[in-house]
């Protein structure tokens, strides 16, 4: 993602969008340093300056790192309301539902992520859908999902390992 994503989203002054972008970048840096409370504060400042689906999604991701899964899901819903074409929050909701053990509930979220018009990592929901199918014992669907992930990103190591592990366990 780059500043162009922020500059084209919604109404607002360019100055506010640039400030929101700067705050978003600072928040992300703090998140990667595991300074999670500071990241939350900065994401919220970014959102109050200029709300974007990305900032809501990344705030949710930060909450998930803090073990605050329900709040993470809530932020993803805000992201979807902000930009229904952005795929990340759909995938993230599905991933958070897996963490909660709600496998059947996760499936439609991954399917929505797969259909999203704007998603930089479309292989992710296929991998996650494969994880759900594998947990449910739907081996064929899991294998198909892992293969689709690899079709979209041939270097996706997690998908390659999951597919190899599953196929070898069935032989």
Domains and CATH numbers, the chain: 13-120 (1.25.40.10), 123-171 (1.25.40.10)
Q: 41-54, pLDDT tens digit by residue?
A: 999 999 999 999 99
Which of these, 120, 124, 58, lies nearest to 109 by C-alpha position? 124
Q: What angle do CA 37, 44, 15 make, to 5 degrees?
A: 135
> Distance between CA atoms of 132 and 126, rounded to whole angstroms?
10
Neighbours of 137 (CB within 10 A): 8
Q: Is residue 113 within 8 Å of 90, Cβ to Cβ?
A: yes
pLDDT at position 128, please? 97
Residues pairing with 86 in the sheet: 118
Q: 17-74, pLDDT tens digit by residue?
A: 889 999 999 999 999 999 999 999 999 999 999 999 999 999 999 999 999 999 999 9
């Amino acid at each position: 993602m780059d500043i162009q994503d922020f500059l084209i989203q919604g109404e607002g002054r360019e100055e506010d969008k640039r400030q929101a972008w700067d705050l978003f970048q600072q928040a992300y840096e703090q998140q990667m340093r595991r300074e999670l409370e500071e990241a939350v504060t900065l994401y919220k400042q970014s959102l109050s300056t200029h709300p974007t689906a990305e900032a809501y999604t990344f705030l949710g991701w930060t909450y998930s790192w803090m073990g605050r899964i329900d709040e993470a899901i809530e932020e993803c819903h805000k992201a979807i309301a902000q930009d229904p074409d952005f795929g990340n929050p759909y995938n993230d909701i599905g991933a958070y539902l897996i963490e909660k053990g709600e496998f059947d509930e996760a499936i439609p979220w991954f399917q929505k992520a797969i259909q999203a018009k704007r998603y930089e990592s479309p292989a992710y929901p296929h991998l996650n859908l494969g994880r759900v199918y594998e947990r449910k014992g739907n081996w064929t669907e899991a294998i198909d999902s892992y293969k689709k992930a690899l079709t979209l990103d041939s270097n996706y190591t997690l998908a390659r390992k999951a597919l190899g592990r599953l196929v070898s366990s069935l032989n």
